[in-house]
Structure 1
Amino acid sequence: MNENLFASFITPSLVGLPIVIVIIMFPLTLMTTSNRLMSNRLHTFQQWLVKLIAKQMMMIHSPKGRTWSLMLISLIMFIGSTNLLGLLPHTFTPTTQLSMNLGMAVPLWAGAVILGFRHKTKQSLAHFLPQGTPIPLIPMLVIIETISLFIQPMALAVRLTANITAGHLLMHLIGGATLVLTSISPPTAIITFIILLLLTILEFAVALIQAYVFTLLVSLYLHDNT
């Protein structure tokens, strides 16, 4: 049976309408809230995780940069939960879509850059021309630094998209090979199944690491501009 490897990356629809918005909102239902005097274990773990993330992300920031703490915590929690939910069978991972990742990367990057030009104008402009640059190289260096600045959000989005997509494709290929080898060579099928289990564990780690890397880079861009 021929199967399109990229079928799982097509945005799902219901009655002809895309339901990606519903999928994106679904991780919010996993974030527990407690109105009682005593919290449950899940809510306590969630509070501990948020405090840990805030401590790691905000340690290097100035008071102005720490005003972004809620945004960065929400970002890493959203990307991490979305990546993990996408590893479940018959699910769709929104972070495999470059358009969505650009939609997260561009506004955050632009906000950090605009903040830098507004409050640290001289330092922001100085990044385009390192001190001691020879006069003939000034135009070329300004062009290179400008391109490197505008390529930052694209690098953020492409990195997240490529890592999540590659992992899903590899799991799909090894899973298909395991099913085929079950009737041809059971010992080989067992080996490929063990490889699939190890790869699945690795993908769980990659899902969390990529969320951390994406948020950390946004945090570093913010640190350079505050």
Structure 2
Amino acid sequence: MMTNLFSTFDPANTINISMNWMSTMLGLMIIPSTYWIMPSRYTMIFMKIMMIMHSEFKLILNKTKGFTLMFVTMFMFILMNNMMGLLPYVFTSSSHLTFTLTLALPMWMSLMIFGWMNNTQHMFAHLIPAGTPSVLMPFMVCIETISNLIRPGSLAVRLTANMIAGHLLMSLLGNNMTNTSSYLIMSMMVVQMMLMAFETAVSMIQAYVFSILSTLYSSEVNYENTPKSPIPLSS
């Protein structure tokens, strides 16, 4: 029995143990692998999606090798959790800031620390866009600094808010179906089916938006002039 509308997102179960967070890793158990699963259409679709996302991220990170693996993995992980949240009695972990900030904050912080430690001049240059008048330079530095600081928060809140909004609307309509007539129930079922299709699209789009914005933020860090540690030659 739900105490309020937001109890749908309560991570604790009836015995007050937050075991629902285990569903976050459930998607990793069903991801196919060519080493232990025979090739199937499901595997082909899964690999097709990964190759499409790899090509998308490669266009943005055209001079950085290996980063596409991290962002493709992030995209598939968020997509799996968003899609599983649409199933009945499955905890929607991506509707909590604990989940989204765990993905956004360490990634953003590691990129910022790497950029400022290895390419300080390049990071300072990003604070002032090209063609900015001299009078506006101090204001642009403040604006760009604030925009850089709120990036992990905007990524986390965007994903959380979009997942909460659709689930709240579906829960609200589902709770009111018991108090309506038989004619209205049929129409509300059609509306629920349309909302389900809409939420499926939102789950895919938000996973793509989260990963593509993370890729765009990481592309601002210059990796070309990073000093490389000397590799000792074997005798």
TM-score norm. by structure 1 comes to 0.88
User: CA RMSD of the aligned region, Å?
Assistant: 2.2
Counterpart residue type for residue 202 of structure 1: F
Match of 2:106 in 1: 107
Match of 2:172 in 1: 173
Name structure 1 gaps, 5 residues minimum.
none
Q: Alpha carbons of 1:38 and 1:84: their partners in 2 closer, same or farther (altered >3 Å)?
A: closer
1:144-200 deviation line (CA, Å, top 9, x unaligned): 22111100110000000000000000000111222221xxx2222221221111011
Segments ≥4 residues shifted beyond 6 Å: none
CA distance in 1, matches of 2:193, 2:211: 28
Please say if residues 117 and 124 of structure 1, whose CA atoms lie closer than 8 Å, have aligned partners that are also in contact: yes
Secondary structure of the residue aligned to 1:225 is coil
Name structure 2 gaps, 5 residues minimum.
223-235
Match of 1:78 in 2: 77
1:51-104 deviation line (CA, Å, top 9, x unaligned): 11111111221332x321111111110100101101111111101111221111
1:2-23 deviation line (CA, Å, top 9, x unaligned): 7411111111348543224421
Q: Alpha carbons of 1:2 and 1:194: their partners in 2 closer, same or farther (altered >3 Å)?
A: same
Q: Alpha carbons of 1:15 and 1:194: their partners in 2 closer, same or farther (altered >3 Å)?
A: closer
**Among 215, 218, 221, the residue aligned to 1:222:** 218
CA distance in 2, matches of 1:14, 1:170: 24
Match of 2:227 in 1: none
Q: Alpha carbons of 1:156 and 1:178: their partners in 2 closer, same or farther (altered >3 Å)?
A: same
**Among 201, 213, 233, the residue aligned to 1:205:** 201
Q: Alpha carbons of 1:197 and 1:150: their partners in 2 closer, same or farther (altered >3 Å)?
A: same
Where in structure 2 are the equivalents of 1:1-226 lying within 5 Å?
A: 3-13=3-13, 16-35=16-35, 39-64=39-64, 66-130=65-129, 131-135=131-135, 137-181=136-180, 185-226=181-222
Please say if residues 54 and 68 of structure 2, whose CA atoms lie closer than 8 Å, have aligned partners that are also in contact: yes
Q: Alpha carbons of 1:39 and 1:195: their partners in 2 closer, same or farther (altered >3 Å)?
A: same
TM-score norm. by structure 2 comes to 0.85
